[in-house]
Amino acid sequence: MSLMHPQRDDMVAAVGDLTSGPVLPTLRDRMLASPEGRRILKERPRINTKTVDMQKLALLPEGTVGHAYVKWLERCGVTPDTREPRYRECHDFYHCIVNLPVDVTSELAVKFFEFANLGLPMAGFAAAFGHLRLSSSKRERLFKEYVPWAIKCGSTSQSLITVYWEERWSQNMDELKKELGLWDAPETKWRNPSNEAKAAAARKQKETEFQL
C-alpha cells in the first residue's frame, strides 16, 4: 500500500515502524553522543501547530531557519500537522534545508538522502522501489543528478537526527547548512502554490497589515 499510494502517510509510517528496529540502537548512540541529541531524547519535543508558533516564525528575518521553514510550508501547501508523526516530524525540515518541494522525484531524492544520512530501512525501501512510478525521463534525471547528490551529501553531513530544530529558528539558514555540511539538491521546478498555500499567505498578509 505504501508503494502504490505513497500519499498514505499512515502506511508509510507503519512500514517505517516495522523495519526500523535494527538501526535504532545506532541512531540512539548518535543522539547520546551529541548535546542536542541528548536533550531531544530527554525532552521529547514535538513539531506541530500546537507546539510551534507559526506566526512568530513568519515574522523572523528573511534567511533564518524559521522564516525559511514557514515559507517552504506555504510554497508546498502543507502544514506541520499534514504528515503522520515520524522522525519527530522532521522530514519536512530535510526538504526545506536542501531546497526540494514535495513532488514524487523530490520525495525520492530526500529518501535517498535520508537513507544515506540515517540508515533507516524504510527510506532505502522507498528509494529502491519508488522510482518505478516515474516516467523514463524523470527516472533518468533522478539517478543521474539527484541520487549522486543525495548519497554524497547525506553520507558526509552530520546526522540530522541530532539537530534540535526548535533551537535553530533564529539561525541563518546558510550558516546552519555550512555547520551541518549540507548543500542544495540539484535545481528542480516548483509547482504553483496550492489553494492551501495561497490561503496561508493571504492570512499572513492580513495579520501583518493588522499589526501595522
Binding-site residues from annotation for Zn(2+):
91-92, 95, 107
Q: What is the 3-state secondary structure (H, E, C) of the chain?
A: CCCCCCCCHHHHHHHHHHHCHHHHHHHHHHHHCCHHHHHHHHHCCCCCCCCCCHHHHHCCCCCEHHHHHHHHHHHHCCCCCCCCCCHHHCHHHHHHHCCCCCCHHHHHHHHHHHHHHHCCHHHHHHHHHHHHHCCHHHHHHHHHHHHHHHHHHHHHCCCHHHCCHHHCCCCEHHHHHHHHCCCCCCCCCCCCCCHHHHHHHHHHHHHHHHHC
Q: Annotated binding residues, as ranges? A: 91-92, 95, 107
